[in-house]
A and B are shown apart, each in its own frame.
Chain A
């Protein structure tokens, strides 16, 4: 028995049964809707909601599985394509014995009066145009509740399929001159439509058909709009963006009034794609495309083709102008120009003046131009300093050069850490432009080239440059940017294995740091998404470069991923970053925005974490707050002002007769640090802090910026670090050490605090030096600088005491350990010997002096 009760034990109500009946019959939902139109009962409402659910299901699945057999006079034979509004069937008109393309409004919209009107408008618009390059319409009608119109069946495919096929084969879809000739027809067709006061509004490859003989025909006036009629409101009122963004003109994208020039812009994009196989504007997200549409410059033919026809390029440049008035206004004129291009006749197009072009270029890439200017100024200021130093100490030129190259080596090390630690890796997560990286690389290559010239025989340079040139990171980051995380990982793993096996000096250590960092980033990308591996890689990177900021920023992502209580962890993170530089916070902020995944973040490649919605919101709020602290637009001017200020400051410091050697070292230390810093602006402030430290003697209180506000603790610490690098006299340091101690008491856990405290106290010869040095060694037992610092405190202790103690032995132990771990052993040995010599002069006890001398001799021998 087919008792309804068997369903779930409940008695079916009227609506249940009526719906079941409808489902078992052949009635369409449109029919039932029609029936229900006049009913007002609760049942009707219930039924309507079920029908809506049914329509929803149908809209998800697409059209019904069954092809209708007939529609009006037409016999359906297959499906040619699908669009937003419905299906295009291949149909046969028996009376006229011809095949037609039958466009049918989707059933989902069959009761939607707006869509019906729009469908009818399309048919009317197309029927009004007779042109060889517009697909003609044969008839219009309604059958079985479905609206349709019949068009000529073009035996071919749509241009987008043609382009896609060519792209798969890796060749350009059309030869430039052929394309010019074919597109002339379409341009002329658009000209006709425009003269009939009709805009197409959706010109794109999908709406252009390629016939068997290669002629193009425009179709799908689905969005067409009369230029001046009342029906104009039809497509406007429905709201939302109509058309396809990649092919839409800037004015269409932002909803401004459209003109014939807008259609011609879209045609230009289509022509560009047909010739090159690529779009003039690229972007992975809708936002990115919109951004480049409104603010970027389209690519040119020469960017993609080896030898593009210049006239065609000029035509395209004109077509793709951002301002409508700069473009062609008339399809017919464009058609004539295109024919001229195809025939090889000259085209008379005036190029925009040079100034305008430069301005547009600069606007296209403000970051690059800003960075270039800044980098040039920075280099100039550095060389200016170098020159002063050279003039003053001409005799020691050779030694100076060696020294400066050593510093440059550090700078390169720092640069490498900066280049690969910051922007490009972030760019890999964000899909940002590659230009920044190119600048960094150019800088690096410049350094290396210079080093090669000046010190051609030094094997270290060769090793370093070859290591850089065989760097897997550019390739890996290309993979990352393309979302191919696994391939990047594989590349990095191989490189890591290779580096680990080759030893442990400077280059390898840095290389490993960068590789581990990149590997961590790869593991965090959406395509890989391995948190635990990312964690291991980050830990390794932090071990290799303690205190580096970028690993810390990425670590925040991991902290949130691990969190049981996200708001609590966020609070902790916020507290930890209170004293961080604003720019560092901005980096973390942008990562947070990306993790939140609510906003369409530019960090498209970052893996999304499984977070509850409330947590996401909290993450987003914090991220946005931090990201907004730094205004992107001001960045360039800051970079520029930094280099200018550096140059000015350097001059003012050099002129009063300061000791050039010291200034040189300080400047070098600063340039090295500039590359390590998250943002150069903070370094400028550190530099200002240093000037304050030099100018003010016994002053207390924090270092201040020009506005009188305290600098961030990190910046203050950098200023102190620069002061040490200046090799200041002990007295100068002793005068200021109280001020430092206040900073240390307030921020004992600041990264680098232990180190700088120990160095400062040790250089000043203070009593706390030995304690601080021991702390430092305890913190970083592998750091040769820490061991060196402790050695010096042992030496000082030995010198200060009249009787012979164990201090000298300990100092010798430290010296040995220090040399073993040093990056540049010769240099370290020199420094150690110097320190011991100084100790030997200071000591008053003869046996001790003898002991020191024998040790120095032994050290020399080992050298």
Chain B
């Protein structure tokens, strides 16, 4: 069976949403909705599906697309004069009861979890946050993360182990 972009996208939907949401940071979040960015990523994925060499890498490929997309947004925001945060307000897009894909409880719950997680991550130190984002959210293997963070593979796992401990404290699990 050949993998279509729609199927792959549906499969990684939640992960992509997390990547986008968490990478956007609080400032961009107030003026842009992660779901909108996700839609853009979906379109980009469908258009450039032919550039994907191995369907087994679809997840990593999609995550890369999402990260790039957010990076572009962040770059575009640089140089734009800072706006008064009091003028900003989150755009409400969640109409939980209208979601056919999953029940309202699931959707609301997932959204809540994402909010909790992003708040908890904000309170972690830079390297803890980064290691969690790279390994668990963006799904990169420890080796690649090690190269990114200039650390050995073991050190990455150790760092992640500690980061998880801090995270569980922050989440009060």
Interface residues of A (CB under 8 A from B): 2-4, 6-8, 12, 15-17, 19-21, 23-24, 46, 49-50, 52-54, 56-62, 65-67, 77-79, 81-84, 90, 160-161, 163-164, 204-206, 240-246, 283-286, 289, 483, 526-527, 529-532, 561, 604, 607-610
A235 vs B117: C-alpha distance in the bound complex, in angstroms? 28
Q: Which of B18, B137, B161 meets A50, CB within 8 Å? A: B161
Q: Could you say which residues of chain A place their CB within 8 Å of the CB of B102?
A: 82-84
Cα of A546 to Cα of B10 in the assembled complex, Å: 56
Chain A contacts for B165, CB-based, 8 A: 15-16, 19, 46, 49-50, 53
Residues of A within 8 A of B130 (CB): none
| Residues of the B chain whose Cβ atoms lie less than 8 Å from the Cβ of A21 | 157
Instruction: Known contacts A20-B161, A284-B95; decide if A56 and B173 are in contact (CB<8 Å).
Output: yes
Q: Which residue of the partner chain A has the closest CB to B135?
A: A23
Interface residue range, chain B: 35 or more
Of B7, B151, B168, the residue contacting A6 (CB under 8 A) is B151
B81 at the interface (CB under 8 A from A): no
| Of B14, B18, B100, B110, the contact of A205 (CB 8 Å cutoff) | B100
27 contacts between A and B (CB under 8 A): A2-B153, A3-B155, A6-B152, A6-B155, A7-B155, A16-B162, A19-B165, A23-B142, A57-B137, A57-B167, A59-B110, A60-B18, A61-B18, A61-B137, A62-B12, A62-B14, A77-B1, A78-B3, A79-B11, A161-B100, A283-B97, A286-B96, A286-B97, A483-B92, A530-B87, A604-B92, A610-B88
Q: List the A side residues contacting B162 at CB < 8 Å.
A: 7-8, 12, 16
**Are B103 and A244 neighbours in the complex by a CB distance under 8 Å?**
yes
Q: Which of B92-110 contact A (CB under 8 A)?
A: 92, 95-98, 100-106, 110
Task: Say how far B93's CB is from chain A's closest CB, in angstroms.
Answer: 9
Residues of A within 8 A of B164 (CB): 19, 50, 53-54
Q: A53-B165, A56-B173, A60-B114 are in contact. Are A20 and B158 (CB under 8 A)?
A: yes
Q: Are A206 and B168 in contact (CB under 8 A)?
A: no
CB <8 Å contact, A529 and B89? yes
Among B91, B100, B153: residue with most chain A CB under 10 A: B100
B160 to A609, Cβ gap below 8 A? no
Which residue from A7, A49, A161 sits with its C-beta under 8 Å from B173?
A49
Q: How far is the CB of A273 from chain B (nearest CB, A)?
A: 10
Min CB gap B150→A, angstroms: 10
Q: Interface digits, B1-21 against A, CB 8 Å rule (1 contact, 0 not)?
A: 101000100111111001000
Assess whether B68 is interfacial by the CB under 8 Å rule.
no
Chain B residues closer than 8 Å to A15, beta-carbon distance? 161, 165
Using Cβ atoms and an 8 Å threshold, which residues of chain A touch B168? Answer: 49-50, 52-53, 56
Q: Which residues B101-148 have CB closer than 8 A to chain A?
A: 101-106, 110, 113-114, 117, 127, 132, 136-137, 139, 142
Hey, which chain A residues are within 8 Å of B159, CB to CB? 7-8
Q: Which of B64-99 contact A (CB under 8 A)?
A: 85-92, 95-98
* A678 to B22 alpha-carbon distance, docked (Å): 46
Smallest CB–CB gap between B105 and chain A, Å?
7
Residue of A nearest to B15 (CB): A61
Indicate if the CB atoms of A57 and B117 lie closer than 8 Å.
yes
B146 to chain A, nearest CB (A): 10
Report the Cα distance A24→B146, complex, angstroms: 13
**Docked pose: A6 CA to B59 CA in angstroms:** 31
Q: How far is the CA of A65 from the CA of B59 in the complex (A)?
A: 6
Q: Which 7 A-B pairs have the closest CB atoms?
A: A62-B14, A19-B161, A53-B168, A160-B100, A20-B157, A529-B89, A49-B168
Write out the residue numbers on chain A whose beta carbons fall within 8 Å of the beta carbon of B59.
65-66
Q: A2-B155, A20-B160 are in contact. List 11 more A-B contacts (CB 8 A).
A: A8-B159, A15-B161, A53-B168, A62-B14, A79-B11, A84-B102, A84-B103, A205-B100, A532-B87, A604-B92, A610-B85
* Chain B residue at minimal CB-CB distance from A204: B100
Closest B-chain residue to A83, C-beta based? B102
CA distance A17 to B1 in the complex (A): 41
Partner of B132, one of A24, A52, A57, A82: A57
Q: Once the chains bind, are B136 and A561 in contact (CB under 8 Å)?
A: no
> In chain A, what residue has the closest Cβ to B158?
A20
Which residues of the partner chain A approach B160 to less than 8 Å between Cβ atoms? Answer: 20, 23
| A90/B1 contact (C-beta < 8 A), A62-B15, A609-B89 known | yes
Given contacts A4-B155, A57-B132, contact A79 B7 (CB under 8 A): yes
* Chain A residues, Cβ within 8 Å of B161: 12, 15-17, 19-20, 23, 50
Q: How far is the CA of A65 from the CA of B58 in the complex (A)?
A: 9
Cα distance, A530 to B89, chains bound together (Å): 9
Question: Which of chain A's residues has its CB closest to B169's CB?
Answer: A49
Closest residue of A by beta carbon distance from B14: A62
A532 to B84, CA, bound (A): 11
**CB nearest neighbor in B for A245:** B97
A283 to B60, CA, bound (A): 39
For A62, the closest partner residue in chain B by CB is: B14
Report how far A72 CA is from B79 CA in the complex, Å: 56
Q: Please determine whether A62 and B95 come into contact, CB atoms closer than 8 angstroms.
A: no
Known A-B contacts A56-B173, A60-B114; A206 and B100 likewise in contact (beta carbons under 8 Å): yes
Tell me if B52 counts as interface (CB < 8 A to partner A). no
How far, in whole Å, are A388 and B168 apart by their CA atoms in the complex?
A: 81
* A2 in contact with B154 (CB, 8 Å): yes
Q: Give Cα distance in the complex from A8 to B151, angstroms.
A: 11
Contacts of B97 in A (CB 8 A): 244-246, 283, 285-286, 289
Name which residue of chain A comes closest to B154, CB basis. Answer: A2
Residues on the B chain within 8 Å of A241, using CB: 105
Assess whether A8 is in contact with B127, with CB atoms less than 8 Å apart: yes
Complex: A289 Cα to B102 Cα, angstroms: 17
Closest to A84 in B: B106
**A46: which B residues are within 8 A, CB to CB?**
165
Most buried by B among A90, A531, A604: A531
Q: In the complex, how many angstroms separate the beta carbon of A57 from the nearest chain B beta carbon?
A: 5
Q: Is the CB of A4 within 8 A of B158?
A: yes
Of B3, B87, B157, the residue contacting A24 (CB under 8 A) is B157
Cβ-defined partner of A529 (8 Å) among B14, B18, B87: B87
Q: Tell me which residues across on chain B come within 8 A of A83, comparing CB atoms.
A: 102-103, 106
Residue B171 at the chain A interface, CB threshold 8 Å? yes
A16 to B161, CA, bound (A): 6
- Cα-based distance from A726 to B112 in the complex (angstroms): 62
Q: Give A50 to B164 CA distance when docked, in angstroms.
A: 5
Q: Are B92 and A23 in contact (CB under 8 A)?
A: no
Chain B residue nearest to A605 (CB atoms) is: B92
- Across the two chains, which residue of chain A brings its CB closest to B99? A244
A204 proximity list for chain B (CB < 8 A): 100
Q: Which residues of B contact A16 (CB under 8 A)?
A: 158, 161-162, 165
Q: A2-B152, A244-B104, A289-B97 are in contact. Are A610 and B117 (CB under 8 A)?
A: no
Residues of A within 8 A of B95 (CB): 284-285
Closest Cβ of chain B: how far from A841's Cβ, in Å? 62
Flag if A78 contacts B1 (CB, 8 Å).
yes
Q: Among the listed B105, B137, B153, which residue makes an inter-chain contact with A240, where contact means beta carbons less than 8 Å apart?
A: B105
C-alpha spacing A50/B54, complex, angstroms: 34
Which B residues lie within 8 Å of A19 (CB)?
A: 161, 164-165
| A20 lies within 8 A of B106 (CB) | no
User: For A17, what are the chain B residues with a Cβ–Cβ distance below 8 Å?
Assistant: 158, 161
Bound complex: CA of A62 vs CA of B14, how far in Å?
A: 5
Structural contact, A24 and B105, CB atoms closer than 8 A: no
B104 touches A286 (CB 8 A): yes
Q: B96 → chain A, closest Cβ, in Å?
A: 6
Cα A8 to Cα B162 in complex, Å, equals 10
Contacts of A164 in B (CB 8 A): 100
By beta carbon, the residue of chain B nearest A526 is B92
B15 adjacent to A527 (CB under 8 Å): no
Give chain B residues whose Cβ lies under 8 Å from the Cβ of A50: 161, 164-165, 168
Q: What's the nearest-Cβ distance from chain B to residue A646, in Å?
A: 43
Q: Which residues of B contact A526 (CB under 8 A)?
A: 89-92
Shortest CB-to-CB span from A205 to chain B, Å, is 7
CB distance A24 to B96 under 8 Å?
A: no
- CB nearest neighbor in B for A562: B86
Q: Which residues of A contact B101 (CB under 8 A)?
A: 82, 160, 206
Q: Kindly state the separation between the CA atoms of A79 and B3 in the bound complex, as whole angstroms.
A: 10
